[in-house]
């Protein structure tokens, strides 16, 4: 394998070239599915740890022409833990980094080093705090193809611009890293949930937009995999339900159909017209109501974004008693 031939055999040789990488969780999942579809052996397992609900920290080995990603086998060869490697990678990045921020609209700033490690510099609080904002910071890392976005915690206008900018970057450029907001607490990165209701709704809308794109990619790959395996499993779509002042995610579960459901706000419980006509019965439930009704019928599978296998439909009387969602 090329990665094993080109990475140094010893940690002392590899050490100066280690860098931290922050990537979206889909970055780990997509190659695994593609390998299954192509009947290829999957040797892409990477050394990683969670960073947020939708992102991870990886170890990169920096080379002039590209960045190679370190796997568990390299850590074993070097006789170090992931945490030891990450500590050295962060130190290396710190030694190479000076503040590089530019003023944007509404008091926000963008940090852009244009070297592939923009998002990783969130691990350098002393560098980020030198962005020129005289306040606690809120940070977003929307895309690998854009810099880090920074706004003052005291400015709702700057944070609104930051969310809007994140959405535009994700929709136009892809490369999703995270839809989360971050802050520092005792020099540690923590996720931040806005207290302002309007801002919280905008952030939730952004997360629905990003999830819609990820689930669409996942659905395409899962359908190709099931076709190859000869499996009769319906991969339910992640849908966006639009209402005045409200955006919610939704999917459908049809009686008699074995399906993989995405995790959504709403679930349409569908009973098809037994005569073959169009008089289907549909009842919309909140996800939590559906999950309680389904019980063990709802089985999580090993997937990201999360999916749940369903086959046996809940009894009609139980479905009739379940409270309908407000839509």
Residue 42: per-residue pLDDT: 66
Q: CA 242 to CA 136: how far, in whole Å?
A: 34
Q: Which domain holds residue 38?
A: 2-96
Residues 90 and 121 in one domain: no
Residues 231 and 307 in one domain: yes
Could you tell me if residue 76 is inside a domain?
yes
- For the chain, how many structural domains are there in total? 3
Residue 126: per-residue pLDDT: 95
Residues 120 and 75 in one domain: no
Residue 244: per-residue pLDDT: 66
Could you tell me if residue 143 is inside a domain?
yes
Q: Domain boundary residue among 96, 119, 148?
A: 96
Q: Please tell me whether residue 227 adopts helix, strand or coil conformation.
A: helix
Could you tell me if residue 316 is inside a domain?
yes
Residues 129 and 158 in one domain: yes
Q: Domain boundary residue among 96, 118, 138?
A: 96
HSE-CB at 3 with a 13 A cutoff on CA atoms is 17
Could you tell me if residue 203 is inside a domain?
no
Does residue 267 contact residue 261 with C-beta atoms inside 8 Å? yes
Residue 247: per-residue pLDDT: 85
pTM confidence score: 0.90
Residues 112 and 79 in one domain: no
Could you tell me if residue 212 is inside a domain?
no
Q: Domain boundary residue among 96, 126, 155?
A: 96
Residue 63: per-residue pLDDT: 92
Could you tell me if residue 213 is inside a domain?
no
Could you tell me if residue 327 is inside a domain?
no
Residues 91 and 108 in one domain: no
Residue 1: per-residue pLDDT: 38
Residue 3: per-residue pLDDT: 46
Buried b (16+ CB within 10 A) or exposed e, 270-309: bebeeeeeeeeeebbbbbebbeebbeebbeeeebbbebbe
Does residue 267 contact residue 236 with C-beta atoms inside 8 Å? no
Could you tell me if residue 220 is inside a domain?
no
Residues 60 and 33 in one domain: yes
What pLDDT tens digit does each residue of the chain (327 aa) get? 344 457 899 999 999 999 999 999 998 899 889 988 988 766 667 889 999 999 999 999 999 889 999 999 999 999 999 999 999 999 999 999 999 999 998 999 999 998 999 999 999 999 999 999 999 999 999 999 888 999 999 999 999 999 999 999 999 988 999 999 999 998 899 999 999 999 999 999 999 999 999 999 999 999 999 999 999 999 999 999 876 667 899 999 999 999 999 999 999 999 997 877 777 899 999 999 999 999 999 999 999 999 999 999 999 999 999 999 987
């Amino acid at each position: 394998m090329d990665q094993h031939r080109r990475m140094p055999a010893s940690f002392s040789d590899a050490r100066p070239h280690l860098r931290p990488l922050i990537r979206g969780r889909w970055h780990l999942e997509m190659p695994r599915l593609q390998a299954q579809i192509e009947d290829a052996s999957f040797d892409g397992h990477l050394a990683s740890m969670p960073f947020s609900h939708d992102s991870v920290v990886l170890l990169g080995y920096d080379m002039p022409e590209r960045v190679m990603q370190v796997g568990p086998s390299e850590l074993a060869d070097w006789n170090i833990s992931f945490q030891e490697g990450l500590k050295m990678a962060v130190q290396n990045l710190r030694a190479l980094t000076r503040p590089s921020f530019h003023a944007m609209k509404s008091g926000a700033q963008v940090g852009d080093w244009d070297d592939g490690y923009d998002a990783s510099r969130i691990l350098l609080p002393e560098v980020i705090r030198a962005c020129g904002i005289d306040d606690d910071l809120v940070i977003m890392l929307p895309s690998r193809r854009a810099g880090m976005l920074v706004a003052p915690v005291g400015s709702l206008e700057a944070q609104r611009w930051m969310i809007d900018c994140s959405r535009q970057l994700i929709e136009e450029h892809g490369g999703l890293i995270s839809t989360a907001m971050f802050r520092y607490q005792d020099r540690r990165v923590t996720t931040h949930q806005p207290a302002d209701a309007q801002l919280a709704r905008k952030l939730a809308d952004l997360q629905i937009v990003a999830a819609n794109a990820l689930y669409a990619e996942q659905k395409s790959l899962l359908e190709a995999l099931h076709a190859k395996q000869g499996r009769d499993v319906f991969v339910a779509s992640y849908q966006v339900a639009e209402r005045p002042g409200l955006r919610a995610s939704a999917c459908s579960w049809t009686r008699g159909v074995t399906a993989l459901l995405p995790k959504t706000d709403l679930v349409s419980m569908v009973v098809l017209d037994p005569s073959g006509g169009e008089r289907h019965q549909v009842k919309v439930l909140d996800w939590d109501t559906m999950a309680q009704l389904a019980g063990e019928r709802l089985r999580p599978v090993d997937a990201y974004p999360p999916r749940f296998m369903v086959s046996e439909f809940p009894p009609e009387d139980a479905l009739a008693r379940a409270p309908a969602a407000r839509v």
